[in-house]
Structure 1
Amino acid sequence: MRPALHFTARSGWINDPHGITWRDGEYHAFFQYVPGRVEWAPGCHWGHASGPDLLSLSERAVALAPGDGDDGIWTGCLVVDGDDVRIFYTAITEPDFGIGRVRVATPEGDLGGPWVKGEVVVTAPAELDLIAFRDPFIRRDGEGWRMFVGAAGRDGTAMALSWTSPDLRAWRYAGVALERSTDVTEPVWMGALWECPQFVTLDGRDVMISSVWDADVLHYAGYAVGGFDGDRFDAEAWGRLTYGEGLYAPSLFFDAEGAPCVQFWIRGIGDHDAGWEGAHSVPYRLGRSGTVLTATPHPDVARHRGPLALDGRVAGLAADIEWSAPAGRLTVRSGGAEAAVVDKGDTDAVVRVGTREWAVPVGEAVRIIVDGPVLELSSSAGVFSAVLAPAGDDLSVEASAGSLRVYPLG
């Protein structure tokens, strides 16, 4: 079963979204793609899709593929500086693909390509004893640019390394911008490698958001809040953004209105008989409440709503649910059978799908998006996802307490 609004590839494996860009009246979304497989393999491509919003994407031709010295085209970013458009990606070679190189590609035409590979512009610093190096992210730095790359030290230190450039061409190593030992577990454990470390300023404070990786196990999205002085990031607080087993690989981007946003890879969504695996979340706008990072479903989600379902019943398998209650139970049914149950308390909820259940921190107001096999739950305390198996072709939602609004999505 495919979701209707969450992006999936026609066939093959997908994981990290990246390079999401609003340009010339549409979004361009790139992603890790392994054609012809339903399992990950090192020989990743950069897939490409575009559309008026990130819930209405159409898959396009592959942007970048292995070859020309690359055994795999791993995660990176897309930078626009006027008419100068560049992809910076992780180029890997087998068998030691843990240590990547940062390589550039430019389009012959617009973002639809074709893309032409250029030089390797950054390599791992020789003076650091690293077991992993990948995932460049670039942002403005005064009149120039700053690149951050995730790295893992052999001693268990997760790092974000940085480089500076006046022109996106020549890069100077600026040192370790942020580091933390995997032995530190409070208030949140941040692993041995930060995959896709990305930096953004929210309401005057700097935030680093990343994927938490350790020993080839993908965990969740975490973050640091603090200040960046131009060389070092001083982390004042650490937090966890995602829960459950689905959401990983947050991709930071700026929407059509210039607001900072994020989109995730959702693990576990696929149909191997139909030849595809992997989905992307709905987009979220980022915010900050003190030292807590928040993620709210993007306004584009609400633009896909139909009329309010006064009885909580929706024809079809896509719904946008708003529920506010200090405590209570919310039940989602399909074909008369329970698809998901949320038992909510003041600060925590237990989500149950079939025989599986998860404890998730929540605020008083909860937003739940159901789209076929996908459930996403978000609140001021974080974001969660689970895989559903709807029994019918309809949805009905009821809550034991509080305010409930249910809208069909299409």
Structure 2
Amino acid sequence: MTAVTATTPDAFRPALHYAARSTWLNDPNGLIFHEGLYHLYYQNNPEDNVWGNMSWGHATSADLVTWTEQPVAIPCDEQEDIYSGSIVFDRYNTSGFGTESRPALVAIYTSAFKPASEHNGVQAQSLAYSQDGGYTWTKYAGNPVLNRGSAEFRDPKVFRYESGTTSYWVMVAVEALDFKVVFYSSPDLKNWEFLSSFGPANATGGVWECPDLFPLLVDGDPDNVKWVLTVNLNPGGPNSGSAGQYFVGDFDGVTFTSSSTVTEGAHDPARLGEYQWLDWGRDYYAAVSFSDVPDGRRLMIAWMNNWEYANEIPTSPWRSPMSLVREVSLQGVDGAPRLVQHVARELTSLGSGDPTFTVGACEIAEGEHIMDGAAGSVQRIEANLAPGTAEEFGVIVRGNGTRGTRIGIRPAEGRIVVDRRESGQTDFHESFASIDSAPVQPSGNSYDVTIYVDRCSVEVFAQGGRVTLSELIFPTCTSTDFSVYASGGTATINSLKITHLA
């Protein structure tokens, strides 16, 4: 890991999160575990650190911790930009792109056609295949394979659906401006038949993008399987700008039926707080899951940025990190299945055996209190806090004294908040200095919060991962103080543990 100073242009480069070496990235694409490696493809501008020239970048990892940037996988050309999509391992060689002994990886991506193409102005789905494990790709001569004549038809997520003797490919994509997820089936990845559609539903304050569909056990019960449909939207998130929502229901191979829809059709901004969000923070977008992960684990990763200010965040020469990889599961909460998210276990094991800072039970007096010995810039913070008389209480991370990013509980409001108004550099965009919040209720009489702090971000997991908030921050390198605080009264630390991860 390269040392950085307050004057280093690359001072915000994360230690825990993936970021491209010197270019722009956004949506994760083509996530797959194959031949012992996790492959992370992503929207990439190979020529600059702002959006444009959309191609597929590529990184690999054996452990979800250390990522190796690979050469650009699928570059744009004069005919098309390469928008989001997915990758499948065609193990039965249904496409004929491989052989029985060496099946191919097949990428299904959105061709955003340019003026040089006969399909100019259309977004349609195309194929590329790899016969060397995902490093080099050949575009299919018969592209596009699915064309609706639409300018906003994109982001295919493809998986193998199997039920009894039935087995075929299913594509989940969006008609972005119609707030619809559309489903297609195929025997060979080349010929597609329309199945059904879903939406509009719940949040429709911005275009729908980057859908995903997968089954999960509820509370680990193999006799209780539900399907989760995720769809990202921009703008229209619960705290402004980009966000991702999810629906829980059933999928019979043709139709997805939601049991968690709150509103259908017309957008109702007053009901945003009732919807199910993948993350309540400002910087968790285009989340999709990895295919073919061993042991049936469902792992997700997202772009850690927000289209309100994405091109203007003060990082150089790179721009935009990915989130940490999360493992998601379904848990019964108040009688309904809800997503629960934890940082993948490969990342939670970081720092084991390293010196930690711990505090036992003690009171937080009114005001802000710097904790000697707790400073750091890359940390995991695990806290159990109990309310007293305070109107708000919590912690301040990446502080310059007691000025930093506040992560607090407002018990009377039933909210957890991330206040980044004093988080560091905020003046690059008018909407960045924000107070963002999510609903949270105590367990017993206390609140569990786990926070991953990095050089330009915080990821907050509250109440066992039932609520998450992800936020970019841009403090100086010397802003490393850690504080606790209480406003309008006192609170209690039941336990506090800080593990240094850098």
Global fold match (TM > 0.5): yes
Distance in 2 between residues matched to 1:48 and 1:314, nearest whole Å: 36
> Does the alignment pair 1:302 with 2:388?
no
Post-superposition CA distance 1:292-322 (Å, at most 9, x none): 2222111122122243323674565111112
**How far has the Cα of 1:23 moved from its partner?**
1.9
> Does the alignment pair 1:208 with 2:291?
no
**How far has the Cα of 1:36 moved from its partner?**
2.7
**How far has the Cα of 1:396 moved from its partner?**
3.0
Post-superposition CA distance 1:202-258 (Å, at most 9, x none): 11011101111359x952100111111222211111412222321111021154433
CA contact (8 A) 1:339 1:388 kept: no
> Does the alignment pair 1:383 with 2:468?
yes
Distance 1:51 1:369, change over 3 A: same
Distance 1:92 1:333, change over 3 A: closer
* Sequence identity percentage: 25
Match of 1:281 among 318, 323, 336: 323
Aligned to 1:29: 40
Q: Residue type matched to 2:409 in 1?
A: K
* Structure 1 spans left out of the alignment, 5+ residues: 182-187
**How far has the Cα of 1:273 moved from its partner?**
6.7
**How far has the Cα of 1:6 moved from its partner?**
0.6
Distance 1:65 1:336, change over 3 A: same
Distance in 1 between residues matched to 2:89 and 2:205, nearest whole Å: 32
1:402 aligns to what SS in structure 2? Answer: strand
2:254 aligns to what SS in structure 1? Answer: coil
**How far has the Cα of 1:393 moved from its partner?**
6.4
Distance in 2 between residues matched to 1:121 and 1:97, nearest whole Å: 12
Match of 1:266 among 289, 301, 304: 304
> Does the alignment pair 1:53 with 2:63?
yes
Match of 1:161 among 182, 189, 212: 182
Match of 2:88 among 79, 85, 94: 79
**How far has the Cα of 1:87 moved from its partner?**
0.8
CA contact (8 A) 1:315 1:408 kept: no
Match of 1:252 among 289, 301, 325: 289
Post-superposition CA distance 1:363-394 (Å, at most 9, x none): 53222110111111123443212222334164
Distance in 2 between residues matched to 1:397 and 1:407, nearest whole Å: 15
Mapping of residues 219-238 of structure 1, within 5 Å: 219-238=242-261
Distance 1:56 1:273, change over 3 A: closer
**How far has the Cα of 1:88 moved from its partner?**
0.8
Distance in 2 between residues matched to 1:231 and 1:138, nearest whole Å: 14
Aligned to 1:199: 213
**How far has the Cα of 1:98 moved from its partner?**
6.8
CA contact (8 A) 1:17 1:32 kept: yes
Distance in 1 between residues matched to 2:435 and 2:206, nearest whole Å: 27
CA contact (8 A) 1:158 1:191 kept: no
Aligned to 1:293: 339
Post-superposition CA distance 1:93-124 (Å, at most 9, x none): 23698741111111141222x11111325334
**How far has the Cα of 1:272 moved from its partner?**
5.3
Q: Residue type matched to 2:187 in 1?
A: P
**How far has the Cα of 1:265 moved from its partner?**
0.3
Q: Residue type matched to 1:220 in 2?
A: A
Match of 1:12 among 2, 5, 23: 23
Aligned to 1:184: none
CA contact (8 A) 2:27 2:42 kept: yes
Post-superposition CA distance 1:2-52 (Å, at most 9, x none): 1111111111110011222222222111110012322212x2010001122
**How far has the Cα of 1:326 moved from its partner?**
4.2
Match of 2:112 among 73, 78, 92: 92
Aligned to 2:416: 349
Quick check: which one's strand share is greater? 1
- Range with bigger deviation, 319-328 or 134-143: 319-328
CA contact (8 A) 1:317 1:370 kept: yes
CA contact (8 A) 1:121 1:170 kept: no
**How far has the Cα of 1:164 moved from its partner?**
1.0
- Range with bigger deviation, 195-204 or 158-167: 158-167
Q: Residue type matched to 2:320 in 1?
A: G
Aligned to 1:405: 497
Aligned to 2:444: none
- Range with bigger deviation, 318-327 or 88-97: 88-97
1:257 aligns to what SS in structure 2? Answer: helix
CA contact (8 A) 2:303 2:323 kept: yes
**How far has the Cα of 1:352 moved from its partner?**
1.5
Distance 1:78 1:397, change over 3 A: farther
Distance 1:218 1:342, change over 3 A: closer
CA contact (8 A) 2:399 2:405 kept: no
Distance in 2 between residues matched to 1:326 and 1:229, nearest whole Å: 45
Match of 2:156 among 128, 136, 145: 136
**How far has the Cα of 1:339 moved from its partner?**
2.2
CA contact (8 A) 2:124 2:148 kept: no
Distance 1:251 1:396, change over 3 A: same
Distance in 2 between residues matched to 1:316 and 1:365, nearest whole Å: 21
**How far has the Cα of 1:335 moved from its partner?**
5.1
CA contact (8 A) 1:324 1:404 kept: yes
Q: Residue type matched to 1:92 in 2?
A: A
Aligned to 1:145: 169
- Range with bigger deviation, 395-404 or 27-36: 395-404
* Structure 2 spans left out of the alignment, 5+ residues: 1-11, 92-102, 218-224, 262-275, 360-370, 388-392, 423-432, 442-446, 486-491
CA contact (8 A) 2:146 2:192 kept: no
CA contact (8 A) 2:89 2:105 kept: yes
CA contact (8 A) 2:78 2:114 kept: no
Distance in 2 between residues matched to 1:397 and 1:22, nearest whole Å: 40
Q: Residue type matched to 1:282 in 2?
A: L
Aligned to 2:72: 62
Match of 2:456 among 354, 370, 373: 373
> Does the alignment pair 1:179 with 2:216?
no
1:168 aligns to what SS in structure 2? Answer: coil
Q: Residue type matched to 2:46 in 1?
A: P
Distance in 1 between residues matched to 2:172 and 2:459, nearest whole Å: 29
Q: Residue type matched to 2:337 in 1?
A: T
Distance in 1 between residues matched to 2:323 and 2:170, nearest whole Å: 28
Distance in 1 between residues matched to 2:351 and 2:483, nearest whole Å: 16
1:377 aligns to what SS in structure 2? Answer: strand
Distance in 2 between residues matched to 1:133 and 1:194, nearest whole Å: 10
